[in-house]
A and B are shown apart, each in its own frame.
Chain A
């Protein structure tokens, strides 16, 4: 639920990184925070377990500059990916304006990707939203592991599993090393702001 403040000339929008546990959602935000930390004036908020698993959410606010004369402030969130935290995931999804689905390219995680996408659709439905209404970008993370000989799903397979009907923009990426992390973020920001543009005219 974006807030458009005509007095300050500011737009705040919420983008949530969703996906199965250990897929790289938090790593995406950590990379973005390291890359832009001179421009990001606050610390990244993380609520996690002792084992470094996200417990509630990670939060990173970013000011991206002006679009159509409005200052754009994007609030990036991640959800906890572990199956048992579904109630929490649903809470964090409230008021979402754009979604990055971070899928795990590991071959052994194929089923978890599909289940997580279904879970996302179900949780959106509880807010009377659909994956087809909200801006979505897919990220096929951990592509760097190919070099280490670890069995990965091909991008084609992941596209078939996750993107046949959705037809969302997708990027192969490595949240750990960096390729396409920023590009994923830029794409979802553009799509999200685009979806608000009627009110920015």
Chain B
């Protein structure tokens, strides 16, 4: 099984990442699948991060945490977020197959980011379904 993304879908997704998240001041954002592959990504500077390794680790991390949730009787956790001194990383499930990973600095509050990620997620789900 595999996913095929055409130009229109990817352009629409990249627009959402740019306008809804990067324009807020997010440093990097990736839409990835649960296997660790990258669907779309935006960064403030090209080559800012090793995005392929980040995607693999993010998918693994999210998968591990989701499994832990089930082991303790939870359907899923509502928040997966790691706070750093300068950069933080937020994970959000888009559908059962995709994740949105955002890397942002101290200038953005987590609450505001979660709100914006939820809005962006809704739009991305609509595109994925098309």
Contact = CB atoms under 8 A, between A and B. Distances in A.
Interface of A: 1-8, 12-14, 42-43, 45, 56-57, 59, 61, 73, 75, 77, 87-88, 91-92, 94-97, 196, 199
A5 B39 contact: yes
Given A6-B6, A94-B63, A61 B52 contact: yes
Interface of B: 1-7, 10-11, 33-39, 50, 52-53, 56-57, 59-60, 63-64, 67, 97
Contacts of A88: 64
A7 B10 contact: yes
A75 B37 contact: yes
Contacts of B5: 3-7
Nearest to A5: B5
A14 B3 CA distance: 13
Contact of A2 (B10, B37, B38, B64): B37
A8 B7 CA distance: 8
- For chain B, what secondary structure do more than half of its interface residues adopt (helix, strand, loop), or is it mixed? mixed
Given A4-B3, A6-B5, A7-B5, A91 B60 contact: yes
A3 B39 contact: yes
Contact of A199 (B2, B50, B63): B2
A47 B37 CA distance: 18
A46 to B, nearest CB: 11
Contact of A1 (B3, B7, B38, B63): B3
A161 B3 CA distance: 35
Contacts of A5: 5, 10, 39
B2 A97 contact: yes
Contacts of B36: 14, 59, 75, 77, 95
A77 B56 CA distance: 9
18 contacts: A3-B2, A3-B5, A5-B39, A14-B36, A42-B53, A43-B53, A45-B53, A45-B56, A45-B57, A56-B60, A57-B56, A61-B52, A61-B56, A75-B36, A75-B56, A88-B64, A95-B36, A96-B35
A200 B63 CA distance: 29
A90 to B, nearest CB: 8
Given A2-B37, A95-B37, 9 more contacts: A1-B33, A1-B97, A4-B4, A6-B4, A8-B10, A43-B53, A45-B53, A45-B56, A57-B56
Contact of A95 (B10, B34, B50, B52): B34
B37 A92 contact: no
Contacts of B53: 42-43, 45, 59, 61
Nearest to A10: B38
B64 A12 contact: no
B33 A95 contact: yes
A157 to B, nearest CB: 34
B50 A42 contact: yes
A71 B99 CA distance: 23
A26 to B, nearest CB: 15
A4 B1 CA distance: 11
